[in-house]
Amino acid sequence: MKVIRAKSAGFCFGVERAIEIATTCADGGKCRVFTDGPLIHNRQVMERLTKNGILEIGDYKSESPIDEQIKDVSNEDSVLVFRAHGVSPERRKYLQSLGMRCKDATCPDVGKIAGIIKMHANKNFTTVIVGDPDHPEVIGLLGYAGGKGYVVKDKNAIDALPQIDGEICMVSQSTMFTDDYHEISEYFKKRFPNTKVIDTICGATKERQKDVNVLAEKGAKAIVVIGGKHSANTVKLAIMAKRTGLPCFHIETVGELDIEAIKKFDVVGVTAGASTPDFLIDEVCNVLEKL
């Protein structure tokens, strides 16, 4: 079997940076490191980090109190790391109040979106975020809207909005589809013409989405997408792969690969989410190449 591996498959800069910050703080086990919710959305990487003394506390959305979980922890030799998805200003203030040393691993691209929202909120704009209202990134970003913010994920959510007076700033979750964001923003502007639409989809996401089509153009007969089932950008990659019309296999590890189903294809494309490590991608590619 011929395997075509997408150039953009694997860790993005923001994920690499978050892992480096956490592992540097751990200093080979000399320091206890805690993350407020999963540092990144990949179970296998989180398991490896746990073995290195980097422990996930809090919850998936970084909303619940964590006082009880760290009450017996010495603040002197411990660090609390803010996850790559970022946190709201309120959550940040709460975490900093716990007395533990804090390090910020928020993805710089997410930080830029937060800055855009905050700047426009200070000018009395209403913020509208296009994305998943339950995603940690979106939850954190909404906190910068100064109480004047909404989240919409589709046209139905736009139709359900109340009347919004004044100027509006529209941004997107960093992992949105480019085409979907354009379509939703155009639909939104028909109802709210006084809207400033800002492209906040990160470069790594755009590159990954483009590479899915490149796999099809290079002759792939099926596409394997590797990454966490809770990873927003990986799920979107799988959706985009299906949009090519090719069979798509979304797996987290090589153990989930349906060998009988995929071995009938002579050329297979492989891509992976921004939180997927190289060792998982290599394992899948090695198995496919031997078929």
For the domain bounded by 13-107, which CATH number is listed?
3.40.50.11270
Instruction: Find where tokens 């975020």 sit.
Output: 129
Q: Same topology for domains 13-107 and 109-197, yes or no?
A: no
Side chain identity, residue 143: G
Contact 86, 140 (CB under 8 A): yes
Summarize pLDDT for 68-104 with one digit per residue, the tens: 888 777 677 899 999 999 999 999 999 999 989 999 9
Domain ranges of the chain: 2-10+204-289, 13-107, 109-197
The architecture in CATH of the region 109-197 reads 3-Layer(aba) Sandwich (3.40)
Measured CA to CA, the distance from residue 231 to residue 276 in angstroms comes to 9
Contact 41, 230 (CB under 8 A): yes
For the domain bounded by 2-10+204-289, which CATH number is listed?
3.40.1010.20
Measured CA to CA, the distance from residue 86 to residue 98 in angstroms comes to 18
Tokens matching residue 269 = 């494309």
Q: Can you give the pLDDT of all 291 residues of the chain as single tens digits?
A: 999 999 999 999 999 999 999 999 999 888 999 999 999 989 899 999 999 899 999 888 888 899 888 877 767 789 999 999 999 999 999 999 998 999 999 999 999 999 999 999 999 999 999 999 999 999 999 999 999 999 999 999 999 999 999 999 999 999 999 999 999 999 999 999 999 999 999 999 999 999 999 999 999 999 999 999 889 899 999 999 999 999 999 999 999 999 999 999 999 999 999 999 999 999 999 999 999
Measured CA to CA, the distance from residue 135 to residue 60 in angstroms comes to 9
Summarize pLDDT for 222-255 with one digit per residue, the tens: 999 999 988 989 999 999 999 999 999 999 999 9
pTM of the model: 0.92
Measured CA to CA, the distance from residue 119 to residue 151 in angstroms comes to 18
137 is catalytic: yes
Measured CA to CA, the distance from residue 161 to residue 129 in angstroms comes to 13
Query: Which one of the listed residues 137, 207, 256, 289 is annotated catalytic?
Result: 137
Number of residues in the chain: 291
DSSP secondary structure of 116-149: HHHHHHHTTPEEEEES-TTSHHHHHHHGGGTT-E
